[in-house]
Amino acid sequence: MPVGLIVRRTPGVTRWAKWAWRAVGVLPGAAPADWVELRRDGDAVEYHAATRPLTVWAAETEAYRVTLADHPPSVWAVLRPTNHIDDIPFDVHVITASPFEAQDYADSGEELVEKITMPAGLAAWVQEFTDSHHEEDPFVKRRRNKHRTDQVEDGRGDARIKQTTDVYRTPMSARKARTS
């Protein structure tokens, strides 16, 4: 589904930043756009920055359930800085409904990840997809092996080194050598 991103530009509050840019909304089913001015209120300007496809995957339904459980449900916009200082400081890279994917982009530190409230119609579309494609993974408890004392390997180390200063030797073998 094509989703347009609305970005608001407001005057900066410090002398170091002339403008403050913030993603403030999305337009589900939007037509293609490239930084089209939507509204101007004094120095504050809202732009339809770009339209990107919101792609949902059947393997990611657990992530969509997480975002739908959030109040309000959200989408995330990943913005990459451009070389333009004042004109267009960001390129809209991706819009996603997966908080896990957004976290991956945020971890890199190279992109700006903005959380935006998901409109009701878009939330219903994601909910319908999730309901029809989600398969619950059954919980499988991992069993530990019983501790077996007869299988002590006692540090194999490097077979080529047979000295008392063997760095690969375990403390247990050093104690056995002293007591025998």
Q: Could you tell me if 81 and 170 lie in one domain?
A: no
146 lies in a domain?
Answer: no
147 lies in a domain?
Answer: no
Q: Could you tell me if 29 and 110 lie in one domain?
A: yes
Phi and psi (nearest 5°) for 93?
-85, -50
pLDDT confidence of residue 123: 93
- What is the residue range of 128's domain? 2-133
Q: Is 113 exposed, middle or buried (0-12, 13-18, 19+ CB in 10 A)?
A: buried
pLDDT confidence of residue 109: 84
Q: Could you tell me if 166 and 86 lie in one domain?
A: no
Q: Could you tell me if 64 and 7 lie in one domain?
A: yes
Q: What is the pTM of this model?
A: 0.71
Lookup: tokens for 34: 């490239």
Give the total number of structural domains in the chain: 2
Cα-based distances in Å from 25 to 50, 109, 145, 179: 12, 22, 53, 74
Identify the bridge partners of residue 52 per DSSP, sorted by sequence position. 3
pLDDT in tens, the chain (180 residues): 999 999 999 998 888 888 888 999 999 999 999 889 999 999 999 999 999 999 999 999 999 999 999 999 999 999 998 887 667 888 999 999 999 999 999 998 888 999 999 999 999 999 999 999 888 888 888 887 776 666 655 555 556 656 666 566 666 666 666 666
Give the integer Cα–Cα distance in Å for 88 and 49. 9
Q: Could you tell me if 25 and 83 lie in one domain?
A: yes
- What stretch of H or E contains 7? strand 2-11
